[in-house]
């Protein structure tokens, strides 16, 4: 391809991004992709949202959102303005100037990264890729994925990196349910595979976010994402281990952490809980561990933190057993009410929620488990459907123990304390209540 035409392609793309006449595609319309797509639409770009799930795209085209942080009115408004469409037809992506890949990256049963979603997205892009395009991977993965996996699949189209298309990595930083930080005011890390890719990606995301943090290559950007969540995994594990020690010593770990946090430097508070959930903290450090093992390195510190956090549901079950014993009851046959099953407050996401492990262990101990969660009306558990029960004084009086797993802000704590015969509090939600019937983590 002649250098003159190549330069012209890239100059045109720069101008289209600057004047927001570029067509932006977002692949994967989940809790990461849909907010990103609508953020571009709000800035005036024409956005094509792509998802293989036709149920999702049909809902979106009808103005219906299925993501808690995205109001349906915002989808309807973007449709009405003509700045957004949703499709499952990959051929519609031919007109896209930039493509951001926001697909899941789970782990396989053997704890090896499952990159099939990235591979599938890349093959779909290769089918329709045109010269002068920018492709950005946002899915969390191990360092090297952009260069080692994404680029070869894209080049199978017959087009060449740097001549015909550019590639970058920019990790998603969505925090579901966070009322303060969203796409626009959360700094966006960008690592381009080459100078031009870095400049294009910086220009693209700089159109929608307040601050772009540019690094030298995709590997630094891929690593940055893993560092963020490994840092949280390790520090939560430390808080959990300190909670286990403190319970043996009769120490209120929550007060101790708050006291330590009064130091204005050199300390950042992390808090214990029933375990970690969501896609990020329980999963992301495994990408680093897997890659380290592949390279013959040991990172036992990270793996130890993961084991500590995964042990917390068992500790919660022990606390329930102790709380019941104080009331002269056994866990076998006891009616246990879980308050909240999503992995964190005020969201509907069950992924990797510690509540799932707690339910499993309670059932294995032959307890009768019920749950109440206004964000999760039902879910499948080992082949059967569990349904959220209404939280009433009558229900609370009928159970043997209420276990606060997820501290949704809508819970009526006064009612729970008044009517539940005993409470196990894994989130320090009942810190202001001084009752012997409350067992704290």
Q: Which residues have a catalytic role annotated?
A: 280
Radius of gyration of the chain (CA): 24
SS3 213: strand
**How far apart are the C-alpha atoms of 12 and 14, rounded to whole Å?**
5
Q: Contact 177/346 with Cβ under 8 angstroms?
A: yes
For strand 98-101 and strand 23-27, is the pairing parallel, antiparallel, or unpaired?
parallel
**How far apart are the C-alpha atoms of 1 and 10, rounded to whole Å?**
13
DSSP code per residue over 51-112 = -S-HHHHHHHHTT---STTS-HHHHHHHHHHTSEEEES-GGGGGG-SEEEE-----B-TTS-
**Which residues face 50 on adjacent strands?**
27, 87
**φ and ψ of 321, to 5 deg:** -60, -45
DSSP 265: S
144: left (phi over 0), alpha (psi -120 to 50) or beta: left
Q: Contact 211/187 with Cβ under 8 angstroms?
A: yes
Which tokens go with 206? 């700089």
Closest CA relative to residue 102, chosen from 68, 141, 134, 130: 141
**How far apart are the C-alpha atoms of 345 and 341, rounded to whole Å?**
9
**φ and ψ of 287, to 5 deg:** -60, -40
SS3 209: coil
Closest CA relative to residue 406, chosen from 335, 368, 358, 360: 358
Chain Cα centroid distance, residue 336: 28
Q: Residue holding tokens 């510690």?
A: 354
**How far apart are the C-alpha atoms of 378 and 95, rounded to whole Å?**
40
Which tokens go with 368? 């009768």
**Beta carbons within 8 Å of 116's beta carbon, 6+ residues apart:** none
DSSP 126: H
């Amino acid at each position: 391809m002649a250098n003159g035409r190549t330069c012209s392609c890239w100059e045109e793309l720069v101008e289209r991004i600057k004047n927001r006449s570029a067509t932006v595609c977002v692949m994967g319309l989940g809790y990461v992709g849909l907010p990103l797509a609508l953020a571009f639409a709000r800035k005036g770009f024409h956005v094509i949202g792509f998802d293989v799930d036709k149920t999702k795209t049909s809902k979106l085209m009808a103005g219906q959102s299925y993501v808690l942080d995205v109001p349906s009115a915002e989808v309807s408004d973007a449709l009405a303005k003509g700045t957004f469409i949703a499709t499952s037809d990959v051929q519609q992506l031919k007109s896209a100037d930039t493509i951001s890949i926001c697909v899941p990256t789970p782990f396989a049963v053997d704890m090896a990264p499952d990159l099939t979603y990235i591979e599938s997205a890349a093959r779909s892009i290769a089918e329709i890729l045109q010269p002068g395009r920018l492709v950005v991977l946002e899915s969390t993965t191990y360092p090297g994925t952009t260069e080692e996996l994404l680029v070869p699949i894209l080049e199978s189209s017959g087009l060449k990196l740097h001549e015909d298309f550019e590639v970058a990595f920019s990790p998603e930083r969505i925090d579901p349910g966070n009322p303060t930080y969203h796409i626009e005011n959360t700094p966006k890390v960008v690592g381009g595979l080459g100078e031009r890719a870095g400049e294009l990606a910086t220009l693209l995301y700089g159109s929608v976010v307040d601050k772009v943090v540019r690094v030298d290559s995709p590997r630094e950007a891929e690593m940055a994402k893993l560092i963020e969540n490994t840092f949280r995994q390790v520090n939560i594990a430390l808080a959990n281990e300190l909670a286990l020690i403190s319970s043996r010593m009769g120490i209120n770990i929550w007060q101790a952490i708050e006291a330590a946090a009064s130091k204005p430097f050199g300390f950042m508070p992390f808090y214990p809980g029933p375990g970690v959930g969501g896609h990020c903290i329980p999963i992301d450090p495994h990408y680093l561990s897997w890659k380290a093992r592949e390279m013959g390195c040991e990172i036992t510190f990270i793996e130890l933190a993961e084991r500590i956090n995964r042990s917390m549901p068992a500790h919660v079950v022990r606390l329930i057993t102790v709380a019941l014993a104080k009331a002269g009851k056994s866990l076998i046959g006891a009616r246990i009410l879980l308050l909240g099953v999503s992995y964190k407050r005020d969201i509907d996401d069950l992924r990797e929620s510690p509540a799932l492990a707690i339910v499993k262990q309670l059932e294995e101990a032959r307890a009768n488990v019920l749950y109440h969660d206004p964000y999760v009306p039902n879910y499948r558990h080992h082949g059967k459907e569990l349904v959220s029960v209404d939280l009433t004084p009558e229900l609370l009086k009928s159970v043997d123990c209420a276990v606060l797993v997820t501290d949704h802000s809508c819970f009526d704590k006064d009612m729970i304390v008044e009517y539940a015969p005993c409470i196990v509090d894994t989130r320090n939600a009942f810190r202001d209540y001084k009752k012997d019937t409350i067992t704290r983590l």
